[in-house]
Amino acid sequence: MRSWSSPSSQIQQENSFLIRVMDQHKLTRDQWEDRIQVWHAEHRGMLKDSAMLEYLKIAQDLEMYGINYFEIKNKKGTDLWLGVDALGLNIYEKDDKLTPKIGFPWSEIRNISFNDKKFVIKPIDKKAPDFVFYAPRLRINKRILQLCMGNHELYMRRRKPDTIEVQQMKAQAREEKHQKQLERQQLETEKKRRETVEREKEQMMREKEELMLRLQDYEQKTKKAEKELSDQIQRALQLEEERQRAQEAAERLEADRVAALRAKEELQRQAADQMKSQEQLAAELAEYTAKIALLEEARRRKEDEVEEWQHRAKEAQDDLVKTKEELHLVMTAPPPPPPPVYEPVSYHVQDNLQDEGTEYTGYSAELSSEGILDDRNEEKRITEAEKNERVQRQLMTLTNELSQARDENKRTHNDIIHNENMRQGRDKYKTLRQIRQGNTKQRIDEFEAM
């Protein structure tokens, strides 16, 4: 069971991610978790704050990041979207929330006000007419006014020189960040050292297991050699017994042959002495001669057997000597060294913008633009992917991987628009520069003509 602190388990809590993104791709939950774990491991060692900052750098480049959309109409009654974000006001067509058509930076706006459902924006350019639109409900205009005031204040604050207090806070933040980085480096160093010790311990355990296996192998070989030696000794004893029996048989045959010769000589002497009849003596002589021939043949066979047994006994003796030498080598090999002993060594912003109960249908707010530096520097920005080649490669790889698993039949309208913008080489900041071209009057006229 996986821990809820792991990146794989955290995606189980992101219902919107599971429902929309997983439904659009032909990947199982386990395949998603495996990929997320790989991406998570690539940022190992990064501080949590740094990881969040890197995430926001990429997220802020998305077309719909930080934008609040409101349904509005121009004087012609055309249904449009008003987008309010940290950089200004943008106008969108009804069927496209990704690609704004007209844009007004906060530095161009002097006053905002509403009266019932009518919302009026007065530009700094005195020659430009008021920017007027209509919301379906008074409550929406109150919401728009609050967002405009808050975003404009932050927009101006970011572009003014830092006060001494802010400079001190930033210096303190940098010092704290530096201290955290030092602590993180120390932690990583200690972690790497511990991992090195663990790897060395695992290596020694593997070597110990290998040595134990080799020792067992030596013991098995020794037992096998001892058994072979015992078998060869037994076989040599058997051969020696066979050789002795063959030699005894040969000796008996030799004794029989000698006795036959003596008998022959005795018969010959008796023949000479007694002068027996020729036929009887010839028959006896032939009989003994045949017997002598048989005995001679038997003697030769026994001699051959004796030679064969002697040859086999010599081979057994040679095998015995060789086996003793092998056993001696195995028994005299140095034992494996004993293995060393190791001791087991959420920023939650609550949007509370309910009406405060005050019954009013109109309100006006002045938006000052004095004392700011580089009031439209967002138009000079490029996306994080363009600035960072590594991020660009990672995003491209991720895009290619997911495009292969995407279910084309489940693409949303926004997906189609986004892909078309990518195909035409558009991004958030290129579009921003394009929709702010021309003076304020030209853009207001363009809005009224939509």
Q: Is the pLDDT of residue 7 over 70?
A: no
Q: Residue type for 303, please? A: E
- Per-residue confidence (pLDDT) for residue 373, from 0 to 100: 58
| Distance separating alpha carbons of residues 309 and 295, to the nearest angstrom | 21
| Residues 80-132 pLDDT 10s | 999 999 889 999 999 999 899 999 999 889 999 999 899 999 999 888 899 89
Burial 188-219 (b: 16+ CB within 10 A, else e): eeeeeeeeeeeeeeeeeeeebeeeeeeeeeee
| Residues 390-430 pLDDT 10s | 777 777 777 777 777 777 777 788 888 888 888 888 888 88
pLDDT (average), residues 361-371: 71
H-helix or E-strand spanning residue 103: strand 102-105
% of residues, the chain, pLDDT over 90:
19
- Per-residue confidence (pLDDT) for residue 199, from 0 to 100: 92
Q: Is the pLDDT of residue 26 over 90?
A: no
Instruction: Tell me, yes or no, if the pTM score tops 0.75.
Output: no
Q: Is the pLDDT of residue 350 over 80?
A: no
H-helix or E-strand spanning residue 74: none
| Residues 239-285 pLDDT 10s | 988 888 898 888 889 888 898 888 888 888 877 777 767 777 677 77
CB 447 within 8 A of CB 102: yes
CB 355 within 8 A of CB 260: no
- Per-residue confidence (pLDDT) for residue 136, from 0 to 100: 92
Residue 250, both tokens: 């040969």
- Per-residue confidence (pLDDT) for residue 342, from 0 to 100: 37
- Per-residue confidence (pLDDT) for residue 349, from 0 to 100: 32
- Per-residue confidence (pLDDT) for residue 1, from 0 to 100: 38
| Distance separating alpha carbons of residues 436 and 101, to the nearest angstrom | 9
The band of 11, judged by pLDDT with boundaries at 50, 70 and 90, is: low
| DSSP state letters, 276-329 | --HHHHHHHHHHHHHHHHHHHHHHHHHHHHHHHHHHHHHHHHHHHHHHHHHHHH
- Per-residue confidence (pLDDT) for residue 340, from 0 to 100: 44
- Per-residue confidence (pLDDT) for residue 298, from 0 to 100: 82
| Distance separating alpha carbons of residues 110 and 131, to the nearest angstrom | 11
pLDDT (average), residues 45-51: 77
- Per-residue confidence (pLDDT) for residue 294, from 0 to 100: 85
Which of 326, 322, 321 minimizes the C-alpha distance to 222?
326
| Residues 171-223 pLDDT 10s | 998 898 889 888 888 888 998 999 999 999 999 999 999 999 999 998 898 98
More confident residue, 115 or 6: 115
Q: Is the pLDDT of residue 70 over 50?
A: yes
Q: Which residues, in sequence order, are CB contacts of 127 under 8 Å at separation 6+? A: 441
| Residues 338-347 pLDDT 10s | 544 434 333 3
CB 81 within 8 A of CB 93: yes
